[in-house]
Structures are given as C-alpha cells and as structure tokens.
Amino acid sequence: MKTLRFVLGDQLSRSLSALRDVEMSQDVVLMVEAQEETTYVRHHRQKIALVLSAMRHFAESLRAEGLRVDYVRLDDAGNSGSFTGELGRALSRHLVDRIVVTEPGEWRVWDFMRTWETAFGIPVEIREDDRFLCSRGEFTAWATGRRGLRMEFFYRQMRRQTGWLMNGDQPAGCRWNYDAENRKALPPHLALPPRQRFVPDAITREVMTRVEQRFGDHFGDLDSFGWAATREEAIEALRHFITNGLPWFGDYQDAMKSGEDWLFHAALSPYLNIGLLLPVEVCEAALNAYQQGSAPLSAVEGFLRQILGWREYVRGIYWLRMPAYAQTNFFNAHRPLPAFYWTGETAMKCLRETIEATRRNAYAHHIQRLMITGNFALLAGIAPAQVEEWYLCVYADAFEWVELPNTHGMALHADGGLLGSKPYVASGAYIHRMSDYCTGCAYDPKIKRGPKACPFNYLYWHFLMVHEARLASNPRMALPYRTLAGMTADHRQAIRQEAMAFLNRLDRPSP
C-alpha cells in the first residue's frame, strides 16, 4: 500500500510512529514549512531558525538513508502556507492509498488533522506519539476518579512503572523527593560550565538569512544562535550536560545570577520538544551517571522529576483538559501585558536580566520563567491569554502542550489550583535570597514602601489582600495570611495605594 507519511516540524525522530514501517521503495515522506505555523504567534527568530534548520537536516538524513522525501520550503512557488493546503497539493503530486501521521503536540493542529480524511477522501491513520513515557490513554486512566491530580503522585506512579531509581517498591535512598536540598543559592565564586554553542553550518546559515529577511520584525536576537540542529549535535549537548551540569543540577536548580544565562541547566528542552532527543534516552543517560558514581542521587532524582514527572504530567493535563483549560481565569486578571516584556526596559533588574537573556537566547531557565516573569505577571494581574502568548513566542522550546499548563497552571494559577496547590507568588526577599539581581537594582528588596521599595514587596501583599476570599482558606497560604492579619488597617491601605499607583503607571516609560 503506497503511503504518504506526513512528518511535522516537532516530530524529527527517526523512531517516530509515522515512519516506523516506511516502505523505502514506494512511500513518500512529506515535510512542509508552513507560513501559518511560523506566524500563528510571532515566534522568537531563533525558534523559527531552529525548527526550520532541524527540519531541513532531518530531511537530509532521511534522504541519505534512501527514503523519498517531498520537502516544501517556505519560499517554494505555490506554497499555500498551511498544513492542510500543502497536504492537498502533495496528494495531487503523489498517487497514494493512504496518509499516515503521528498525533500532533497541539490541540490547534489536532483539530484540523481530524478533518483530513473527510476533506481528502482518503484513509488517514493518526498514530499515537509514543515518544512520550506516558500515553494520553494511560494518563487519563491515572486521572480518572482522582480527587486531586497532583504531579507528585503521578511521578511516583511513573517511577514505579519504569523502575527508575527504585529498590523494589521503595525509592532509592528511601526518599521520593530531594527538593529541600535542591534550593541552594549560588556561592559567589563557583565556576560555571561554559555554554556549548554549535556553530551554524551552511544549512542553518541559509535558514538564518531567510528568517532575517522574512521575520526581521519578530522578537529576539538571531546572531547569537548556537542551538544544535541535528540529532548528532543534540546528543553532544546531552553528553555535555551529563558531564558538566548534572552533578550540580540539583543543588542550584533554583538559583539565578546576573549575566549567567544557563547555570547548571540542561538547555535540552528544545531538542526534546522537536524530537532530536527522546525523553527515555535523556533519563537513561542521567541514570547511568548515577550508577557510575559521577552524579549524586539528589541531582539525578531532581532531573528525573523534571522529565519523567513534570514534562509527562503537563502533557497529560493538556490533553485531558483542553480546549476548556485555556479559558479559565481564576483571578479574573485583565491587565494588558506591559510593553517592557518585549523591550526589557524596566528599572526592575530581575525582570530586565530575565527578558534580556530571553531575547539573547530564546531561553530562560525555569526559575526565571516561574519566579521572575511569571511571578510578576501573576502579582500584577496580567491577562492569562496575553502572558501565555508571550511565553509561546519567546522560548525556543515553546509548544502549546508544554507551555500552556506551565504558564496558565503553574505560573498564573489561572486554573484555580488544578496544577499547583497554591499560587507561586513571592516578594523581593525570595528573589534577593536566590539571586544577585538586587545588587545594582534601582529598588531595594528590604524596603517595603516608598520610592525605593521593591515593587514585588507591595505587589505581593496587595495580591494577597485582593484575593483573600479565594485564598485565605488554603492551608498552604496560612502563614502569609496570618502575617497579613497582623497588619494595621493603615498599613494595608498604604500598601494598596502604593501598589495601585505602581500598576497604573506600568506602561509608562521606566524612571
């Protein structure tokens, strides 16, 4: 049976289910650069360059194997600009009996993929994306009948299922969680691993030129592009992390430092999300390092928790709850996204550092995303949809299945607590403890009111006051609400005024 196998830009894995039984002699692999996909949000220029370059390299590797690849470039004459349009055109070029695809990562694509069989009058087989460690069906089975869907319990089930870091039914080291050890601030003189930068080859350089011409007005620097664009390079990036980052990953997972964009983080998420690396091999590489004694249990558990736990869990939540999930707005937040999220022009150094790193690299590490840009957006009451669009644009690893639950659920608590048992909000004291950002900032984290006061301080208490009815009964919020209860009415009123004055001038140029 002659088959057209349609491979999407985040499905660049040779083991992809849609490619598994490919018949070299007769099948055609279709790959499409679609304008619609590059512009449904205004992606960071490095993100577009990464995906297009990785797609072109992947197509070359399939051709080198002897497969027949029909590759449509963005600028090819007649390119209709959409997956559906290009599939229609491909069917007029190739006489095939059926189409085979792997289920997409995003609801948006899933929605139109399901129309193809009727639209084209040809069988369309949509196969499971089994690159994940938990299938959509398995997640639904886990979630069914549970009162709460906490990640911790899902993660423990996944540990038991895989047997990773397990002694029989018990976790290695007799503990499931090393988070308490994994929250150290960075000692001032600790040497950090250099970023591994991959010099763009001819294919990537050609893509970068086209991206510059076509998407020159999108956010983000392009010249500093240093991402891996092939599987071989991504494997090299994995090895680099296992040797130079993993042993310290746990200790400094939550640390932040001015001018240091990568710390001990893996910077592997773009490769995982477009398929150059598989989660199973990344986890196994970390487990091997533990078995060989080159990384401690706390670091390896912390890392495994991110991939086997969080990554699989947010995907499960996305497919379980979409499309309604994206519509909730628990705090009824409606303020527009401040312009400085795009320009970085703000006197708040923590935000400036995070946004500038984002512009340079299409990357910020987790705690910057959660406790700097996310924390601020939550405290300031920015509309979830606008914050989500920003996150979807600016990170090289941003695909809706993983971006949305992290932003909507974890950072903004807009789902009312499905993902997190309490909102991730913090005042300037937390940022001061976990970073060196406050040194050299126009504000002072120790000052609570007045022109030098850190805005995170009064915004934090203001947020708690505004949402008291929603949050005060949450046992995990008991401590801050006890402190709030001890404040005089005058003090509360002063905080309210200060916060409102700040919020009202949010979109004016910074002092």
Residues that bind ligand FAD (CB under 6 A): 265-269, 272-273, 306-307, 310-311, 314, 365-366, 369-370, 374, 391, 395, 397-398, 402-403, 406-407, 410-411
| Interactions with ligand SF4, residue window 334-353 (CB under 6 A) | 348-350
User: Please, what is the minimum distance in Å from the beta carbon of residue 445 to ligand SF4?
Assistant: 4
Residue from 215, 319, 399, 437 in contact with ligand SF4 (CB under 6 A): 437
- Gap between the Cα atoms of 374 and 32, Å rounded: 34
Q: Is 431 in the site for ligand SF4 (CB under 6 A)?
A: yes
User: Please, what is the minimum distance in Å from the beta carbon of residue 122 to ligand FAD?
Assistant: 34
User: Please, what is the minimum distance in Å from the beta carbon of residue 462 to ligand SF4?
Assistant: 15
Of 208 and 307, the one with the shorter C-beta distance to ligand FAD is: 307
Q: Which does 431 bind (CB under 5 to 8 A by kind): ligand FAD, ligand SF4, none?
A: ligand SF4
Of 406 and 435, the one with the shorter C-beta distance to ligand FAD is: 406
Which residue do the tokens 């979807």 mark? 392
Beta carbons of 330 and 471 less than 8 angstroms apart: no
CA end-to-end span of the chain: 68
- Gap between the Cα atoms of 224 and 234, Å rounded: 18
Which tokens go with 40? 């449904």
Which tokens go with 266? 């893996």
- Gap between the Cα atoms of 423 and 416, Å rounded: 9
Cis (ω within 30 of 0) for the bond into 193? no
Q: Which does 408 bind (CB under 5 to 8 A by kind): ligand SF4, ligand FAD, none?
A: none
Q: Is 171 in the site for ligand SF4 (CB under 6 A)?
A: no
Of 136 and 366, the one with the shorter C-beta distance to ligand FAD is: 366
Residue type (1 letter), 441:
C
Q: Is 441 in the site for ligand SF4 (CB under 6 A)?
A: yes
Can you list the alpha helix ranges (DSSP code H) found in 215-266?
Answer: 231-244, 246-249
* Cα dihedral sign, 476-477-478-480: positive
User: Please, what is the minimum distance in Å from the beta carbon of residue 103 to ligand FAD?
Assistant: 18
What would the x/- binding string for ligand SF4 be over residues 384 to 423, using CB under 6 A?
----------------------------------------
Q: Is 499 in the site for ligand SF4 (CB under 6 A)?
A: no
Residue 32 in 3-state DSSP?
strand
User: Cα separations (Å) of 288 from 158, 239, 386?
Assistant: 18, 12, 41
Q: Is 428 in the site for ligand SF4 (CB under 6 A)?
A: yes
Residue 353 in 3-state DSSP?
helix
Of 6 and 154, the one with the shorter C-beta distance to ligand FAD is: 154
Select from 380, 399, 197, 221 the least CA-distant residue to 315.
399
Which residues of the shown chain bind ligand SF4 in the complex (CB under 6 A)?
348-350, 428, 431-432, 437-438, 441, 443-445, 454-456
